[in-house]
Amino acid sequence: MVKVGEIVPDFETDAYLPEKDAIEKVKLSDYRGKWVVLAFYPADFTFVCPTELEELAEYYEEFKKEGAEILSVSTDTAYVHKAWHDTSPAIKKIKYPMLADPAGKICRLFGTYIEDEGVSWRATFIIDPDGKVVHMEMHDLSIGRSAKEILRRLRASKYVREHPGQVCPASWEPGKETLEVSLDLVGKI
């Protein structure tokens, strides 16, 4: 299982690409040099999933401004992603690639696969331009994510990459103060 601080091994899979209205093979390495947000979810045609994916679609341009690509991943096929995109008002808003993982290989690589159910836990991974995991979160299927919070974490990840020696305190937003790693701060916060 890939963990924070590790380089993600390359993988290839079918994806539904809404902007092209096409199904194509994509590789993680296609996105090297960009930030990548992998959003794992259990299944198409469900309840919480379309609310999350729609919200990510609404923030998609903000992610792109940060040099990031969103990739959603479920154990459905790319054809099911296409059918869902064609029928759901929420999913029609998606422009980012929807990755297919019907054999659960990508889910297993990231430790999100629920063996007894054949679906993924709800999980988010942020991968830096070098292919290293800098953030991971996984939780129960009944709890939806916040695209705004994922974007905040992406921005914090970018900031500390671009400003060595700086760290972001709780709930940090761009423009707010950061902390400089220093012995002078020990015991004074």
* pLDDT digit string, tens, across residues 83-129: 999 999 999 999 999 999 999 999 999 999 999 999 999 999 999 99
pLDDT of residue 180: 87
- 179, pLDDT greater than 90: no
Q: Which CATH class is domain 12-145?
A: alpha beta
pLDDT per position as a tens digit, 129-142: 999 999 999 999 99
- 188, pLDDT greater than 90: no
Find out whether 39 and 147 touch, Cβ atoms under 8 Å: no
95-to-2, 16, 111, 170, 174 alpha-carbon distances in Å:
27, 10, 26, 31, 26
- Model confidence band, residue 184 (pLDDT cutoffs 50, 70, 90): confident
Please say if 49 is a catalytic residue: yes
Q: How far apart are CA 33 and CA 44, in angstroms?
A: 29
Q: How far apart are CA 153 and CA 160, in angstroms?
A: 11
Q: Which of 8, 28, 37, 49 is catalytic?
A: 49
pLDDT of residue 86: 97
- Model confidence band, residue 182 (pLDDT cutoffs 50, 70, 90): confident
Q: How far apart are CA 189 and CA 187, in angstroms?
A: 6
